[in-house]
Amino acid sequence: MSAGVGADDTDPSLPSAQDEGASGESFRCGYVAIVGRPNVGKSTLLNRLVGQKLTITSQRAQTTRHRIAGIVNRPGAQLVVLDSPGYQTRNRDPLNRVLNRTALATANDADVVVLVVDAAGWTDADARIAALIPAGRPCLLAINKVDAVRNRERAFAVVEAARRIRAFDDYVPISARSGHQVELLAELCARHLPEGVAMFDGEALTDRSERFLAGELIREKLFRLLGDELPYQSTVVIDQFEELPRLRRVFASIHVERDSHKPIVLGARGERIRRISTEARQDLEKLFGTPVYLELFVKVRSGWADDEQSLRAYGYE
Ligand SMILES: Nc1nc2c(ncn2[C@@H]2O[C@H](COP(=O)(O)OP(=O)(O)OP(=O)(O)O)[C@@H](O)[C@H]2O)c(=O)[nH]1
Ligand SMILES: [Mg+2]
């Protein structure tokens, strides 16, 4: 794959505004922001749209910490879809504040906003986030996890509640997990994009580097395998990333807050960190299409999430 391929207007092989889409209309390209409260399925939706596991997902709230773009090519359109951290309406610690800022900036910069909510029911947090989306910006409501809700009336109730907060251009019940109506959502988003040439070449999946994706996939395994045992203030740093013709060599460290967290990550006889490493390596090999050599270390770095300056040093915007 070619992760991290940047914009290039001059490549003659790219579709251009002159190319006709399947419907006979001109080509469209632009940014689609996925926003919503934590855990509603924003990242699962992005992965479904791209058709690859690009951005990480878990049952824990606040899995996503960085903005990441997935490139979605459809006949007549290229959607640059931005995943964002779940917007927190409570618990404003420094990490929360930074994540909220990233989420809001993502919505502000986009041509179309997709607000994802859970079909189980509309909440006050949904209402507060809906009110933050810039007025006049095309905005679609994606009512996700319909597969988990037997009673269809629930999804209608969500639409009714959402309508009271603001007008949405479309209301689309979806299942990001099964893919139900996800194509329809993509098609509806494409209609709101400006006419213009593709920003990324047809092979690119994301704007992020392989190095960045490696750090994220390791963090996902950490979150998934340690569950609630590990405080969410732990992170992954890529110390070295070597891109060889048919191999990636990755040296990474897991930074934890306290000495007492170290044995949690290592597990008995190192069995846990081995599992994190194996599962991360398998995902990375699938994503990069090459064998991956991965070495993981655990380091204690207290206070990294305590203030905005150290958060910036760790790559938080
Ligand atoms: N049943 C069902 N579960 C889903 C669906 N979409 C996502 N999930 C699950 O919901 C959980 C959260 O998914 P994520 O995609 O990580 O949610 P998110 O909104 O990105 O979460 P944050 O990044 O923490 O804000 C995961 O366990 C997903 O498997 C869906 O359509 N149906
Ligand atoms: Mg997410």
CATH of the domain at 109: 3.40.50.300
pLDDT of residue 94: 78
> Residue type at 10?
T
Q: Are residues 173 and 251 in the same domain?
A: no
Q: Domain boundary at 190, 219, 247, which?
A: 190
The residue length of the chain stands at: 317
**Average of per-residue pLDDT values in the chain:** 86
Residue 206 CB partners (closer than 8 Å, separation 6+): 3, 4, 50, 54, 68, 69, 70, 71, 213
14: in domain: no
Q: Are residues 38 and 175 in the same domain?
A: yes
- How far apart are alpha carbons 140 and 246 in whole angstroms? 42
> Residue type at 242?
E
pLDDT of residue 179: 97
268: in domain: yes
CB of 173 closer than 6 angstroms to any ligand 1 atom: no
- How far apart are alpha carbons 6 and 203 in whole angstroms? 11
264: in domain: yes
Answer whether residue 206 shows pLDDT above 60.
Answer: yes
CB of 42 closer than 6 angstroms to any ligand 1 atom: yes
Q: Are residues 295 and 180 in the same domain?
A: no
- 160 pLDDT band (50/70/90 cuts)? very high
Q: Are residues 231 and 184 in the same domain?
A: no
Q: Whose CA is nearest to atom 27 of ligand 1?
A: 59
pLDDT of residue 5: 36
Compute, in angstroms, the gap from residue 276 CA to the centroid of ligand 1. 21
CATH assignment at residue 258: 3.30.300.20
Q: Are residues 181 and 231 in the same domain?
A: no
- 7 pLDDT band (50/70/90 cuts)? very low
Contact between 30 and 112 (Cβ < 8 Å): yes
48: in domain: yes
272: in domain: yes
CB of 59 closer than 6 angstroms to any ligand 1 atom: yes
Residue range 250-260: mean pLDDT, rounded: 91
Query: Burial of 6 by CB count in 10 Å (0-12 exposed, 13-18 middle, 19+ buried)?
Result: exposed
Please, where are the H alpha helices in 69-209? 94-109, 124-132, 152-165, 182-190
Q: Whose CA is nearest to atom 32 of ligand 1?
A: 145
Answer whether residue 16 shows pLDDT above 70.
Answer: no
Question: How many domains, in total, are found in the chain?
Answer: 2
Q: Are residues 119 and 173 in the same domain?
A: yes
4: in domain: no
- How far apart are alpha carbons 61 and 211 in whole angstroms? 24
CB atoms under 10 Å from CB of 278, counted, come to 12
Specify the ligand 1 atom closest to the Cα of 57.
Answer: 16
Compute, in angstroms, the gap from residue 38 CA to the centroid of ligand 1. 9
Q: Are residues 63 and 181 in the same domain?
A: yes
pLDDT tens-place string over residues 84-120: 888 887 766 777 777 778 778 888 889 999 999 999 9
pLDDT tens-place string over residues 110-146: 999 999 999 999 999 999 899 888 888 999 999 999 9
CB of 147 closer than 6 angstroms to any ligand 1 atom: yes
19: in domain: no
For the whole model, what pTM was predicted? 0.85
pLDDT of residue 25: 66
Answer whether residue 234 shows pLDDT above 90.
Answer: no
Q: Are residues 174 and 236 in the same domain?
A: no
Q: Are residues 219 and 166 in the same domain?
A: no
**Can you tell me whether residue 68 is helix, strand or coil?**
strand
- 228 pLDDT band (50/70/90 cuts)? confident
Compute, in angstroms, the gap from residue 28 CA to the centroid of ligand 1. 29
Q: Whose CA is nearest to atom 21 of ligand 1?
A: 39
Answer whether residue 13 shows pLDDT above 70.
Answer: no
Range of the domain at 116: 28-190
Q: Whose CA is nearest to atom 9 of ligand 1?
A: 41
Residue range 256-277: mean pLDDT, rounded: 91
204: in domain: no
Which of residues 225 and 27 earns the better pLDDT score? Answer: 27
Answer whether residue 164 shows pLDDT above 80.
Answer: yes
Q: Are residues 226 and 122 in the same domain?
A: no
Q: Are residues 235 and 185 in the same domain?
A: no
Specify the ligand 1 atom closest to the Cα of 61.
Answer: 24
Residue range 21-36: mean pLDDT, rounded: 82
Q: Are residues 127 and 57 in the same domain?
A: yes
CB atoms under 10 Å from CB of 283, counted, come to 20
- In angstroms and rounded to an integer, the radius of gyration of the C-alpha atoms of the chain is 20
